[in-house]
Amino acid sequence: MKRIPDFLKKYFWEIDSKDLDLQEYRIYVVRRILEYGDVKAVAWLLKNFKKSELKDVLINCRGISRKSANYWAIVLGLPKEKVRCLNRSSLKKQNQIWPY
């Protein structure tokens, strides 16, 4: 089981880092670092993942903020239309079942 380095543990505050298998939770790790990572974390990400993997996560993931998604779309050379979390349907608020 391949684990994340100690300096990345701060990005995964809600789980025990011993349980975070890098192979099993690749998408989660990439998404979290794209959203919250600093320069050192992003350097690690670029060293350990292919650019195509980063693009796939960005294209398919809804859990990335508009600000981060816009930034990474530019950096990775992706048209904004392809980035799922920038599509209008993803930006609309869902109807609340219980409005209180």
- Domain ranges, ordered by start, for the chain: 6-87
pLDDT tens per residue across span 64-73: 999 999 999 9
Residues near 31 by beta carbon (within 8 Å), at least 6 away in sequence: 57, 61, 63, 64
Q: pLDDT digit string (tens) for 34-50?
A: 999 999 999 999 999 99
Handedness of CA 57, 63, 66, 68 (dihedral sign): negative
Would the pTM of this model clear 0.75, i.e. be above it? yes
Q: pLDDT tens across 83-93, in order?
A: 988 886 654 55
